[in-house]
Amino acid sequence: MRTGTGIVEKVYDNGLAKVQTNRNNLYTPCSDSMCDNNVVIDAVNTIGAQKGQFVKFNIPEDKVAVGGIMCFGMPLALIIIWGIFGYWFGNQYGYTSELTAFAGMVIGGLIGAFLLKRYERKINSNTTKIDIIEIIS
């Protein structure tokens, strides 16, 4: 488990809260906000933190390696494999090899994006979420 700090932006009735934190406090595979200084994350609010409070939270680190492979390795591998297939297809059937390789890379990228979205849905439905553990101020 890693520990981070942030400010509660919004509290929901279902026991969740939106917490704004510095991106250096957390690791999120496939983060949509890689270049932003601050990110907003969902956290389980079991201690009853209110909007505007500075809180400490735990970040589960299980599946970090799998997330890295799925987010970076898998799409790159698909682009390369489909590019090679496209190049081979162009050579075999008399098309311009460079164009069919490019088309194969585009197809591999689209398949990779589709698989990433499915993986993201699976991660977001996971029960291991970030937990608010302490109200600092």
Q: What is the pLDDT of residue 75?
A: 92
Spatial separation of the C-alpha atoms in residues 35 and 135, rounded to whole Å? 28
Spatial separation of the C-alpha atoms in residues 137 and 135, rounded to whole Å? 6
Q: What is the pLDDT of residue 125?
A: 63
Q: Is 48 left (phi over 0), alpha (psi -120 to 50) or beta?
A: left
Q: What is the pLDDT of residue 122?
A: 77
Positions in the chain short of pLDDT 50: 30, 33
63-78 per-position pLDDT tens digit: 666 777 888 889 999 9
Q: What is the pLDDT of residue 120?
A: 78
Q: What is the pLDDT of residue 27?
A: 55
Q: What is the pLDDT of residue 22?
A: 79
